[in-house]
Homo-oligomer: A and B are copies of this chain.
Amino acid sequence: MSRDVHALPPSAGPRELHRVGVSGVRKPLSVQRPDRAITLATEFNVHVDLPASRKGSDLSRNAELLAEIVDATAKEPVRSFEEACLTIARELLTRHTYAREAHVEAVAEYFLTRGISTQRRSFEDYTLFAEATTWRNGTGGAPAQSWSIGAEAVGMTACPCAMETARTMLESEFPLLKDPSLQKLPIVSHNQRNRTRLAFEFHEPGEVEADAIVAAIEEAQSSPTFAILKRGDEAQVVLNAHRNPKFVEDVVRDVLAGLPARFPKLPGSTVVTVRTRSEESIHKYDVTASHRLTMAELRAPSA
């Protein structure tokens, strides 16, 4: 019988480690949606801390419990993406008896049926993110926990600044443009793919639907984008975007501005994170903006 090498003292001397685990484990996770079960090809990162006294963490336990929990959803779908992460994080603490904290991250592609009109509906692809952390309580109670759920949606932004400058330049070339009847004519600008992420981090019970996160993002971009656009639809998306020009700063602020009405029941302790990236058509680099605050701060009357 070989020694339990993991349980030996570390050769470098005692030194606790914050995170030890497995990364990039891919599994099909079945999640119950209101209308049907869907299967998300999910990538998991799963970690626990390690006490100063142990050489190694029993990593095969991570793979085993991931398999047990995730593979079981093929028969009984889990209630939500973040619920799966929480279940895994709690089980990590159960099986790694020496660990004080467990952390789970999950990313998956997510398809929703969308369309610029009912005749053009088709699948569009989004990304879902979830995390869960559990802490062992000193007092013997249930482990403390926090968790998050977020999504990324690719949409479109048109730049309000280039539009304004272009109008001024065009007005000197085409004086008729100054005619009052043309004041609302959409003017050329640069427009581009915009990737926006919105995530909610919970420290007390609360819930957000993935589809509502996608909707909150798409409403704040200059326009959502669609797989199927016939000729008139294309022009419609272009006009919508140019009537709704947005800096990355506007996208972040507009996502945030919509959240109090959209999610009135979320606890004030919920931490909201928004990050957006416009893949500028006029540059080879991207433009980005981000912010992070609590729902309570978001609801407070602004300065």
Binding site for B on A (CB under 8 A): 1-3, 5-6, 10-28, 38-39, 41, 45, 47, 50, 52, 55-57, 59-60, 63-64, 66-67, 70-71, 109, 111, 122-125, 154, 156, 159-162, 164-170, 174-177, 179, 181-182, 184-193, 223, 225-232, 234-239, 241-242, 247-250, 252-254, 256-257, 277, 279-292, 302-303
Contacts and interface: CB of A to CB of B under 8 A. Distances in A.
Contact of A47 (B175, B250, B288): B288
B227 A283 contact: yes
26 contacts: A2-B164, A11-B254, A12-B250, A13-B253, A20-B248, A23-B285, A23-B287, A23-B288, A26-B285, A45-B288, A52-B303, A60-B230, A60-B231, A154-B284, A156-B281, A159-B234, A165-B231, A165-B234, A166-B238, A169-B232, A169-B239, A170-B185, A188-B238, A188-B239, A191-B192, A241-B281
B1 A247 contact: no
A71 B113 CA distance: 10
B238 A162 contact: yes
Nearest to A237: B282
Contacts of A238: 162, 166, 188-190, 282
Given A18-B291, A38-B39, A60-B228, 19 more contacts: A5-B160, A5-B161, A12-B250, A12-B254, A15-B291, A17-B252, A24-B286, A25-B285, A26-B109, A27-B123, A59-B287, A64-B230, A124-B284, A156-B190, A174-B184, A174-B185, A176-B181, A225-B280, A225-B281
A230 B4 CA distance: 12
A17 B20 CA distance: 34
Contacts of A287: 21-23, 59
Q: Considering residues A181, A229, A281, which has the most beta carbons from chain B within 10 angstroms of its beta carbon?
A: A281
Q: Considering residues A2, A229, A302, which has the most beta carbons from chain B within 10 angstroms of its beta carbon?
A: A2
Contacts of A176: 176, 179, 181-182
B286 A242 contact: no
Contacts of A177: 182, 185
A17 B291 contact: yes
Contacts of A169: 232, 235-236, 239
A55 B241 CA distance: 18
A290 B5 contact: no
Contacts of A232: 165, 169
Contacts of A57: 249, 289
A231 B56 CA distance: 13
A17 B52 contact: no
Given A176-B182, A186-B188, A235-B162, A286 B227 contact: no
Nearest to A232: B165
A225 B71 contact: no
B63 A227 contact: yes
